[in-house]
Amino acid sequence: MANRPLVKTLLAFSIVYFVWGSTFLAIRVGVHAMPPLIFAALRFTAAGVLLYGWTRMRGERAPSGREWASVLLLALLIFVIDYGLLFWAETQVDSGIAAVMMATIPVFMAIADVALLRTRHFTVGLGAALLVGLAGVAILTLRSAALGAAAINGTGAAALVVAAMCWAVASVLTRRLPLPESKMVSSGAQMLVGGVLLGIASAAFGEFPRFHPAAVSSGAWISLVYLIVAGSIIGFTAYLWLIHHESPTHVGTYAYVNPVVAVIIGHWFGGEALGLRTLVGTALILASVVAIITTRAGQRASKSASHQVKK
């Protein structure tokens, strides 16, 4: 009995680290077999129906009118723009690189904290961490960097940067907007609305005439089921459990573990190149993320200690 919490904790971290890290390769498999926005729409509509439906069956409160308005805005930013661009970008760049580029989300969140929310002070250390992260992006994307392998596709890289920025903006708005108290209700509703909006976007971009279900490979359908069940349902449930049982600093480590897992899985199972440019760019971006997350945690701990002394 004494070991059960430790076993659950290790299992939850393993799921968040490795399942979420592996979803990038699953996305790549799917978007090379069917149009990317349709693939994303299928994933999130199904996951949203399952997750939101389960919360309603449990008797949890449905979002109010104002909360549905917030859900709609966040679904647009997170699922249509962020995930829509990610799924499309993986038709242009390797899955491991996509994961590394998306790891810049904490960089943009730190900028938003300083410039928009003003909940964080700009320091020399933070500035250095931001520059290191941006240097990593430059190494991956600039053709002039003499590191052997070719730079990644510029359009795909730009899409990933915009996607990361949108996620950061959505994270800032999440702290301000009225949302359901239950994170599972909120997330299920956002997935459902996001999936529907992605379906509309796929129609607007003319993907449906190019979608022939009978011609889609079995590997792509397996990837879709994996993304729905393992990535969205199991992975998110493990993440929520960790949020309620572990410190935010420990849970936040997924931000720099997932890209490493994605790069390794993409290389070993997806045949993706792993050259010096990828290694150096990845190392710089992850070093920036580690510095930003640990600095933020330190500031929170300092504020907490000061508050306790004042009391």
Question: What confidence tens digit (pLDDT) does each residue in 32-47 have?
Answer: 999 999 999 999 999 9
Q: Give the residue-averaged pLDDT of 72-93.
A: 97
Nearest to 287 by CA among 113, 108, 129, 109: 129
Confidence of residue 301 (pLDDT cuts 50, 70, 90): very low
- Mean per-residue pLDDT of the chain: 87
CA-CA distance, 55 to 61, in Å (whole number)?
8
Model confidence pLDDT, tens digit, residues 216-251? 999 999 999 999 999 999 999 899 888 888 877 678
Model confidence pLDDT, tens digit, residues 68-82? 999 999 999 999 999
Nearest to 44 by CA among 221, 240, 215, 187: 187
Count Cα atoms within 13 angstroms, Cβ side, for 11. Answer: 10
17-26, 115-124, 205-214: which has the minimum mean pLDDT?
115-124
